[in-house]
Amino acid sequence: MADSTLAEVLTAEHHAIDGGIEKFTASSLRDSVQAWSAPLRQVMEALRRHIYLEEELVFPQLSNGPLMMPIMVMQGEHGEMWRRMADLDAQLAADDIDQSRRDEVIAGCTAMLELLANHNSKEEPVIYPHLDSDMDDDSQAFLRDFLVDGTIPDGWECARASLQ
Ligand SMILES: [Fe+2]
Ligand SMILES: [Fe+2]
């Protein structure tokens, strides 16, 4: 990672998250909901952490200029993803899951992939070029450290997690 730009590292996270959800949508139902859904819960944790680091470590560094409006759009879309993940968590909390409920979860994942494609297609060209050029050195170093082993604080929610 030391040789990669921050833009490259965060773009790689996008691809890993997309890939994880795509792989899950192709998986067939296993014996227990827990076993079947573990990879999806893992990738949602990765997405929540990704949203956390953008909203707490990146956006505050870049939002006092021409990126203010694009960042507001990004936050709104993070909120949509956040609520979609809460819906998926609720669906996965069932003790038992049959084929039709499995199909509902997969439909939720497909909707999530569409949200991500739309979001990332703007975030990567509009926001990410500024990571390496417009964030100060300390903030870049802090973000690099966080990317290695940082964790999202318990109970943290994104800025637009709720609709109101
Ligand atoms: Fe992102
Ligand atoms: Fe984002």
The model's confidence at residue 74, banded by pLDDT at 50, 70 and 90, is very high
Residue 141: pLDDT band with limits 50, 70, 90: very high
Name the phi and psi angles at 66, rounded to 5. Answer: -65, -15
Question: Long-range contacts made by residues 31-40, C-beta under 8 angstroms, separation at least 24?
Answer: 33/92, 33/94, 33/95, 33/96, 33/97, 36/97, 36/102, 37/92, 37/105, 40/88, 40/92, 40/105, 40/109
Q: Ligand 1: distance of its center to the CA of 120 in Å?
A: 6
d(CA 6, CA 143): 8
- Output the CA 103–ligand 2 centroid distance in Å: 27
Q: Which residues surround ligand 1, an ion (CB under 5 A)?
A: 123
- CA–CA dist 15, 12 (Å, integer): 5
pTM above 0.85, yes or no: yes
Determine the distance separating the centroid of ligand 2 and the alpha carbon of 76, expressed in angstroms.
10
The pLDDT tens digits for 22-64 are 999 998 887 788 889 999 999 999 999 999 999 999 999 999 8
Cα 92 to middle of ligand 2, angstroms: 24
* 70 vs 64: CA distance, rounded Å: 11
Q: Which helix (H) or strand (E) holds 114?
A: helix 99-122
125 C-alpha to center of ligand 1: Å? 11
